[in-house]
Structure 1
Amino acid sequence: MENSALEKLKYPIGKFIAPENYSTAYLSERIAEIESFPERLKKEVFQLTPKQLETPYREDGWTIRQVIHHCADSHMNCFIRIKWALTENKPVIKFYHEDLWAELHDNLTMPIEPTLSFLEGLHFRLAYLMKSFSESDLNRSFIHPENNKEYQLKEIIGTYAWHGNHHLAHITELKNRKGW
């Protein structure tokens, strides 16, 4: 597969690009995307057949089932990282191997309905907490051990809004290609 075609399959909405300014409007829009993600995801996957759920979104990519469970894994880690950043001074967060998590039994075989329900509650909590952030909260940060980089919570809002949209696009692009 041509490199640009593979890139488009991997990043159907492009890679995350941080804004120059984390304005109130930008943050509010991203929080709204985070809040609405579970409903948008459910709308796209609820009627898929078991065979469709086992379809990878690209060659050598995760299945739709794995993508759904990955979103729960990733966004659960996001919630915990935010809590650490709000209660500790620049904590070094725990890295997790998302690729290995995606290969665990639950991610490979579990029905999606419990995960969709989990995402509803999790995203309600994420958005509820994010809406309460003060300016100083938005500037609180954690350190990621993989690259020793510091991430401010305002960056995390943008990153995780993108992350949900990114994986949702994996699913919608696959459905479009397959005519589902």
Structure 2
Amino acid sequence: MFTGIIETLGEVTNLTTEGSNLHITITSNITSELKIDQSVAHNGVCLTIVATKNQEYTVTAIAETLEKTSLDTLKIGEKVNLERAMILGSRLDGHIVQGHVDQTGTCTSILEKDGSWVFSFEYDATLNNPTIEKGSITIDGTSLTVVNSSKNTFSVAIIPYTYENTRFGTYKVDSIVNLEFDVIGKYVSKLMANR
């Protein structure tokens, strides 16, 4: 379980394919605090640490994860949003995030607005993942509030801190991102569909 509050940015240092698996090696300033078998969210995708060495660690993404997320587009040198699992009893500063990406989306516009930014995204609505105005959305692991929600598009407003300390500063139009929709909204939507 995660909160969607990004702890730090890591950097991809190696990508190795083994069968249908992708081994991703990352350097970060929290590596010394990580251990094998620990879960860490990478751009919103919960992955298990399989090796650590000095300031680098490695995680493995299986075929299903690669099909449903944007991890297969990673490149060496690319920045990655990182968040360790939440500690039970701590404040929930973001919202409830499972680290289970529902689908990807595409950035359709970036508007600078007097010191902040509005990012708009489009996604495949046939997968029945709803956004709700003022509801929660997780983009590459970052917990955000939805604005301008419609059937297959939504926008989020980004403050300078988030822009500078997450991947938002690297996005361009057509950037592909991981989306995890609000867990409560997904359950309510599923229940209503089954009535």
TM over 0.5: no
Q: Which one has a larger percent strand, Structure 1 or Structure 2?
A: 2
TM-score (norm 1): 0.25
